[in-house]
Amino acid sequence: MNILITLDRNYLGPLRIMLASMFINNPNKTFDIYLIADGFLDADYQMLDKLTGRFDSRIKIVDFDKSIFGQAPSLRYYSRAMYYRLLAADLLPKNLDRILYLDPDILLINKIDRLYNIDFSDNLFAGASHTDSLGIIDTVNKIRLSNYNAESYFNSGVLMMNLKMMRKLVEKEDVFAYIKDKGKGLLLPDQDALNALYGHKILAVDDSIYNYDTRHFRKHLLNSKGVKNFDWISKNTVILHYCGKNKPWHEDYIGYFALIYKHYQKLVDLYLA
């Protein structure tokens, strides 16, 4: 399975924990992990090689011509890293036809086979929405981004990418032009651009299974009339996503899913001992 992760060195610790959770809960699977990393040291890559090697998987550093971003506009504190997901088909080896993009602030607690092998049909991506049950946020975002054909406003932290189709339809000039034109009106530039330009070509998947926002436990429990409790999550949810500023590796983190994160933190220490 091909996995894409983009990050800077501040997320090295969470990356280790995310990878360990993926390896442990997908036994007998091997992974090629394509890494676009800013500020990593040689020792960091050595540590990741040690961890992935224990599970017969490999870290592959993505090397690309930086001039591809020569005309790319920047916004506020956002760097060129915000483009990596959207331009993955240009940056990755041409022999890859699909890859799973993952933010480092997640845990994988069940097998990812179904998501990874999903039938894209003619879609560019498969992803989940973190919107409210009434669809108010969806409506606001469709108006804000002028993409009325999109099914929803999708979160960009977990994306199955149809690289073969992306090479045909995703143009870096379109992405650069959109971000330059919209500028300050964009709240999350890469996610807004994804939804505005390609939201109508994203296949929707169930967020409670494939991109569970850990802040919304009560919402999922109420909307499911009590069905989606912790037992249901442990059996069915594949990806827990620790969205927002309050992160589980911070000492003051308070959340329903703190303990499970601490569990995988301890496992990583054991594997790297």
Could you read off the pLDDT of 169-181 as tens digits, one per residue? 999 999 988 888 8
197: left (phi > 0), else alpha (psi -120 to 50), else beta?
alpha
Cβ neighbours of residue 215 closer than 8 Å, sequence gap 6 or more: 243, 244, 246, 255
pLDDT for the residue 128: 95
Give every residue of the chain whose pLDDT is below 70, as ranges. 75-79, 131-152
- CA-CA distance, 175 to 192, in Å (whole number)? 11
Q: Which tokens in the block code for residue 188?
A: 């999350």
Record the pTM.
0.91
Q: Which tokens in the block code for residue 12?
A: 């090295």
pLDDT for the residue 134: 45
Place of tokens 């040690």: 50
Cβ neighbours of residue 5 closer than 8 Å, sequence gap 6 or more: 15, 18, 33, 34, 35, 36, 101, 102, 103, 104
pLDDT for the residue 147: 54
